[in-house]
Each structure stands twice: as structure tokens, then as C-alpha cells.
Amino acid sequence: MLENTDSIIFDLDGTLWDSTGTVAKAWQEGTNQVDYVKDRVTQEDIRATAGMPYDAIYHKLFPSLPEDKAEEFRKLCGKIELEYVHKYGGDLYPELLETLEYLQAKYRLFIVSNCQVGYIEGFLEHHNLLHFFEGHQCYGTKNRPKAENIKDVVADYNLNSPVYIGDTMGDYEAAKKAEVPFILADYGFGTVESGWETKLEKVSDLMKLF
């Protein structure tokens, strides 16, 4: 299934980096600016929402907020999150740079994530990775499921034999719906028991696989 691969589409969180520490600090700053959210936002809270569409995360973490307050809080935290991600970045997984350099010489590289607009750009710009990726798509662009965004990237860039690499059941299900082979980043946040073509114990395993 992987022999004819011409392109690789990556999930972001839990696959290329771990930004949960930065995002948790950003959201905690948001709670400090309002009087209707009392709970602290922890790194573990952010990890627990891995793979979910951006808007759905707020409903999971703050289910008691009225819709108007939830929307207000989402916009506030979203703004702060982008500022923090651009300023502080996140933790790149070990040997990511070497792996991307190796893969770029042979394959076209892309990112599809369930994040807000500007988040992927923060990842790319803070860590100077923009030159590795030909394109990217996210949930915030059209508020569409990840499977549809994967399909868009495949169609927009005329990909013939892409694979999708992610770390959660949501990633696996999206790849399946998009009819794209799935590779599991087993070092990430989620658990996928079966259905993947192969699994990675670390990012650099891609240099052996491809």
C-alpha cells in the first residue's frame, strides 16, 4: 500500500509537535481575563482534547458555559493562543528536522489539522519550517471535518498516492473516510488499536519506512 506513495499529509498535534504546555498557558491567561471561568486550565486538560475539532474543545472543557459566554471565551482564548504559539512555539518531537529534510527530498509534504486558522502558521513560522511543506489545511478554514480537509488537499494539489500520519482515532477515521492509507504516530496523544498500515514509535522511523 505504501510502495507508490508520492506525498505525505501530517496531523500536527501529537504527530509533529507537542504544544500542550504553551496552549494551556494561553488558555489560563484567558481565564484570568474573565470572571465567569474559575477552573484552571492544565496541560493535561489540553492533552485530553487531542484530535477534537477546535470549537468542540470548548464544549468539552467548559460545558456549563452559556452559548454566548462560550463563544466570547473561545474568541478570547483563540486570540491569546495564536499569540503564544507564534511567540513561544512548542516542543518539536526529536529528530523532526532531520526527518523532514530527508522526506522532502523524495515526497511532497502537507499538514491537515483540526485547529483554528493561524495555528499551523504559528508552528511553521516560529520553528522556521515553512519551506518543508507545500500546503496545509485546517478545521478553521471552512469549519469542515478533517476527512473533507484531507480530500481537499488531495484534490487541490493533485496527489496520486498520499498517506496520512496521525495519532488519534479521529485521525484514523478521517483518513479512512478520505480513502487515504493511515500511518499511526504511536508516540502521540491517542490510541488506535488497529486499521493502520504501520505505526511509528518515533518520528525518525519515517526515514526507515520511506
User: Mean pLDDT over all residues of the chain?
Assistant: 94
- What is residue 179's predicted lDDT score, i.e. its pLDDT? 97
In Å, the largest CA–CA distance within the chain is 55
Q: Which of 73, 88, 103 is the last residue of a domain?
A: 88
For residue 105, name the pLDDT band (cuts at 50, 70, 90): very high
- What is residue 1's predicted lDDT score, i.e. its pLDDT? 64
Pull the grid cell for residue 53.
Answer: 475539532
Tell me: the pLDDT tens digits for 29-82? 999 999 999 888 899 999 988 778 777 888 888 888 898 998 899 999 999 999
Percent of the chain whose pLDDT exceeds 90: 83
Q: What is the average per-residue pLDDT within 122-150?
A: 95
**Domain shared by 198 and 96, yes or no:** yes
Tell me: the pLDDT tens digits for 61-71? 888 889 899 88
Checking if the pLDDT of 117 tops 90, the result is yes
**Domain shared by 114 and 28, yes or no:** no
> Which structural domain, as residue segments, surrounds residue 157?
7-18+92-209
Tell me: the pLDDT tens digits for 162-191? 999 999 999 999 999 999 999 999 999 999
Q: Which of 35, 56, 88 is the last residue of a domain?
A: 88
**Domain shared by 56 and 135, yes or no:** no
